[in-house]
Chain A
Amino acid sequence: MEQSVLHRTLRDIAAVLVVAIFMFPLFWWALTSIKPMYAIFNKDHVVVFDFVPTLINYAVVLLGWSRAEIAIESGSTFGVGGTSSYDSRQTILDSIIVSVGSTALTMVVAVLAAYALSRMTFRTRTGFLNWVLGQRFMPPIAIIVPLVLMYKAAGMRDTDNLFMGYVGLILIYALMNLPIAVLLMKSFFDDVPKDVDEAAMIDGATRWQTFRRIVLPMVRGGIAAAAVLCFIFAWTEFLLSLFLTTIIRTVPVKITTFVTSTGSEWGFISALGTAAVIPGFIFILLVQRHLVRGLTLGSLKE
């Protein structure tokens, strides 16, 4: 279609403006993280660029700096008190362990199931697929109370044992991500022609050999995409980790504890918050191509 220069320019301006509006909260968040306190809590005017940038907020949440160190560094003792509760190194480590562990478990379980659902015919196939889909639709709140009781009984909640805490969260995140991983992997397996399997099996390969040596290598891209999505969902999850563990504080839960009755430590909150979104940003840009398929459980392809 022919479009006038004016029309095109207007469209460009509108497009950039819309995207800028959506980027603004992220920009403001990152900006807040390098602001000193007086700039964040200024009630006279909104401080945009008229401040001296500082990395103190990052030093506290990522390096575990104490108030004394801040005071020496900045010459200010504003809001003197303990900062140890803002040290988020353990939190970040916990989040990484839980997210990576649950992603690995989800992918192993999901890839096996997805292969069978894509390649074999059996009476309960449709029923099984509906069950998986239903699992995706089930609100976590529906099972949270029994899970708390189960976790207590199994020693995965209200325990000092960090390992049991990890196991508990890894298992429940694996369940949470299982439906999307199964349905997504099934759609990737469906893209591989069945002739491939048949040819291998006619040559005497077992199902397992066909899967392991022939089909699995062909869906590597799909596995990477599904794994990235599982990682992101585990990394960002809030409700389950809030209820199901007392010893582990994942990043989203930890960050909400910075809001206290005496005021919110916005500098620390935004520093940890900014650090927490960076892995997601990198990963999402890597799987742009499969994002729609992932978000629609494999039902729409781009």
Chain B
Amino acid sequence: MTAAVYDAPAPGRAWLPRWFTSEHPLPWLLPATALMVVFGIYPALYAIWLSLHKRNPVLRKDVWNPSANWLKALADERVWNALYNTFLYTGLALVIQLSLGLAIALLLDTDRRGYGLLRALMTLPLVVPPAVTAMMFLLMLDGSFGVLSRSLYALGLLSPQYPILATSSTALGGVLLADIWQWTPFMVLIMLAGLRSLPKEPFEAAAIDGASATQAFFRLTLPMMSKVIAIAVLIRGIDLFRIFDYVKVMTDSGPGTATETLTSYAGRIYFNGDFPYASTISVITLAVVIIVSTIFMKAFRVRL
């Protein structure tokens, strides 16, 4: 807006200071700022402050000791295990959800009758509470009566001796199934929007030049969709990185620490009462998210 407009005195309210009238951005932004400072910035700084203390379990007091928790975290194998699990989970989920999402979007991207209904149905998993999704898959993956487990046994892909969620090597895969079911539709939706926004002319030209559908996909569709894909990967990646609900409900980080992620590890420490160390793990999670997303946004020139 031009300066001239909002430098003009507010009609009828000239007795108020200008920064307190609707002509100035301050009153408009004040409620949002207050909310974000009190419940966002302040707790984040508080978490850093807490991480500089050490829990004394005997006295039940947190004592100032700036390096204790950070050195402990560096040497803590469970932190590295959780970091590995979190990255593995995020990476696998992104690759699977993106490729499935793109494939399904290509399949459903037509104006023919009935496909609108199919596209609408595809969005339903998105609104199921993740804790409920976790329960759904817990039921279906139950080792003795779960419908999905029994189908996998019948197909010979799993053995009843090794229930998927109770076996270290497969538990993360079981959790991943719930995530894939719930969030592939997110990718489908965004890819569909991307496909719909593509211009028609290059494809017509390619068809005239005799390009095959496969060539058109890799030479035209994918490059033109790169911005959309980058945005989808960024948003999904950040949410994947803080995975908590599925792990908490389906395996509670187990068996052992096989499905322990940064978030669930922090949660476990919190419930054990060591608030400063839990804060340290939380701050590490925040730092990793900031670093990875900044690198990603710079590398792929994404702007939201």
Residues in A lying within 8 Å of B, measured CB to CB? 1, 8, 11-12, 14-16, 18-19, 22-23, 25-26, 28-29, 32, 40-43, 46, 108-110, 112-113, 115-117, 119-122, 125, 128, 131-133, 135, 137-150, 171-172, 174-175, 178, 182-183, 194, 197-198, 201, 204, 206-208, 211, 232, 235-239, 242-243, 251-253, 255-256, 259, 264, 266, 269-270, 273, 276-277, 280-281, 283-285, 288, 291-292, 295-297, 299-302
Are A206 and B120 in touch, CB under 8 angstroms?
no
CB of A105, distance to nearest CB on chain B (Å): 9
Whether, in the assembled complex, B244 has its beta carbon less than 8 Å from a beta carbon of chain A, the answer is yes
Looking at the complex, which one of A109, A171, A302 makes contact with B32 (CB distance below 8 Å)? A109
Check: B175 CB closer than 8 A to any chain A CB: no
Q: Indicate if B278 sits at the interface (CB-CB under 8 A).
A: yes
Residues of chain B contacted by A42 (CB below 8 angstroms): 145
Determine if B88 is an interface residue (Cβ-Cβ < 8 Å): no
User: Which listed residue (A22, A32, A144, A297) contacts B122, Cβ 8 A?
Assistant: A22
Q: Are A19 and B121 in contact (CB under 8 A)?
A: yes
Q: CB distance A299 to B304 under 8 Å? A: yes
Contacting pair A182 B304 (CB below 8 A): no
Q: Which of B136, B150, B285, B304 contacts A139 (CB 8 A)?
A: B285
**Residue contact B128 to A280, C-beta cutoff 8 Å:** yes
Find chain B residues with CB under 8 A from A171 CB.
35, 39
B282 touches A138 (CB 8 A): no
| Chain A positions within 8 Å of B13 at CB level | 206
Q: Which residue of B lies closest to A273 (CB)?
A: B132
Inter-chain contacts of B36 with A (CB < 8 A): 131-132, 135, 175, 178
Query: Contacts of B127 on A, CB cut-off 8 Å?
Result: 232, 236, 277, 280-281, 283-284
State whether A145 touches B1 (Cβ < 8 A): no
Main secondary structure on chain B at its contact with chain A? Answer: helix
Q: B73: CB under 8 A from chain A? A: no
Provided the pairs A113-B29, A174-B35, A273-B135 are in contact, do residues A295 and B235 lie with their beta carbons within 8 angstroms? yes
| Cβ contact of A255, chosen from B3, B121, B132, cutoff 8 A | B132
Query: Does B228 have its Cβ within 8 Å of any Cβ on chain A?
Result: yes
A12 vs B114: C-alpha distance when bound (angstroms):
9
Q: Which residues of A contact B289 (CB under 8 A)?
A: 137-139
B29, B129, B194, B267: the one within 8 Å of A116 (CB): B29
- In the docked arrangement, what's the CA distance between A141 and B261, Å? 12
A141 to B289, CA, bound (A): 12
Complex interface: chain A residues within 8 A of B25 (CB): 116, 120, 122, 125
In the complex, 6 of the A-B residue pairs with CB atoms within 8 angstroms, ordered by the A residue number, are A28-B140, A139-B242, A146-B47, A146-B279, A235-B129, A259-B135
Interface residue ranges of B227-253 to A (CB < 8 Å): 228, 231-232, 235, 238, 241-242, 244-245, 248-249
Starting from the known contacts A144-B270, A237-B129, 19 additional A-B residue pairs (CB-CB under 8 Å) come to: A22-B122, A23-B124, A25-B140, A112-B31, A119-B1, A121-B1, A139-B289, A141-B282, A142-B282, A145-B278, A146-B42, A146-B50, A149-B46, A150-B43, A171-B39, A239-B248, A295-B189, A300-B190, A300-B231
Contact with A along B238-277 (1 / 0, CB 8 A): 1001101100110000000000001100110010000100
Across the A-B interface, give the 9 residue pairs with the lowest CB-CB distance, nearest first.
Answer: A280-B127, A116-B28, A146-B46, A252-B131, A139-B242, A236-B129, A143-B43, A208-B22, A207-B22
Chain A nearest Cβ from B201, distance in angstroms: 14
Asked if B193 CB lies within 8 Å of chain A CBs, one says: yes
A142 lies within 8 A of B44 (CB): yes
Question: Is the CB–CB distance between A28 and B28 below 8 Å?
Answer: no
Measuring CB to CB, which residues of chain B are less than 8 angstroms from any residue of chain A?
1, 3, 5-6, 10-13, 21-23, 25, 27-29, 31-32, 35-36, 39-40, 42-44, 46-47, 50, 104, 107-108, 110, 112, 114-115, 118, 120-140, 144-145, 147, 150, 181, 184-186, 189-190, 192-194, 196, 207, 228, 231-232, 235, 238, 241-242, 244-245, 248-249, 262-263, 266-267, 270, 275, 278-279, 282-283, 285-286, 289-290, 293, 303-304
A132 to B36, CA, bound (A): 8
B135 to chain A, nearest CB (A): 6
Contacts of A112 in B (CB 8 A): 27-29, 31-32
The one of B107, B121, B293 that contacts A137, using a Cβ cutoff of 8 Å: B293
Closest to A118 in B: B1
**In contact, B104 and A281 (Cβ under 8 angstroms):** no
> Given the complex of chains A and B, what is the CA–CA distance between A101 and B276 in angstroms?
32
CB distance from B259 to the nearest CB of A (A): 16
> CA A113 – CA B35 in complex, angstroms?
12
Q: Which residues from A are CB-within-8-Å of B21?
A: 206-207
Q: Which of B27, B50, B133, B190 contacts A295 (CB 8 A)?
A: B190
